[in-house]
Amino acid sequence: MTDRLSLYDPTFEHDACGVGMVADLTAKATHATVSDALTILENLEHRGATGSDVDSGDGAGLLVQMPDAFVREVFGPLVPDAGTYGVAFWMIPRHLDLPATRAAIDEVLASVGLGSIGWREVPSIPRSWVPPRPRVNQSLSSNSSLPPRRTSIWSVRCSVLARFSSIVWTSTPRRVRPTC
């Protein structure tokens, strides 16, 4: 046993992954932040960070906040004030009934005090997905009378997974199933 001064153990270093993060601590949206993030992404290419499928966006990339103007453009006039709503991405298997699935998700949202404002199907390029590709949807929800609660979002995710687990994950290997 070696004399270590910390909990770090180099024998656990076996992956070739890399993560970079850039953030503006004032939450101001600037091109400089995106430019810095792209520089990090370029510098991580040697670690395997590449866009595996350039048509669908699958692979390495940037995670940025959706601009309020874009949300208003795609969801229309029902969008509440900036900062009082959230947009969730849902990958819904094609064998599920879409209206019933959306209604079930809306019920879960309501159970934690979040109102469903609307849904949209995200445009995608069909040739870039390996069949059967899911339906990629976004839901818009809000409750301006409550402060943002990350625990609500987490409980929505877990409740939706529990509700659909017997339907969605029956043929999926356990190692790739999401957990709560």
Q: Mean pLDDT of all residues in the chain?
A: 77
Fold of 66-176: Alpha-Beta Plaits (3.30.70)
pLDDT higher than threshold 80 for residue 60: no
Q: Is the pTM of this model over 0.75?
A: no
Q: What is the DSSP letter of 52?
A: S
pLDDT at 49: 55
pLDDT at 129: 56
- List the domain boundaries for the chain: 1-54, 66-176
Q: Decide if 41 contacts 49 (C-beta within 8 A).
A: yes
How far, in Å, are 72, 93, 104, 129 from residue 169 at the CA level?
A: 34, 10, 17, 19
Active site residues: 17
pLDDT at 160: 83
pLDDT tens, 107-159?
888 888 888 999 999 987 666 556 667 888 999 998 756 555 555 677 788 88
3-state secondary structure of 119: strand
pLDDT tens, 47-56?
555 555 555 5
Least confident of 68-82, 84-98, 160-174: 160-174
Q: Which residue has the higher pLDDT, 95 or 153?
A: 95
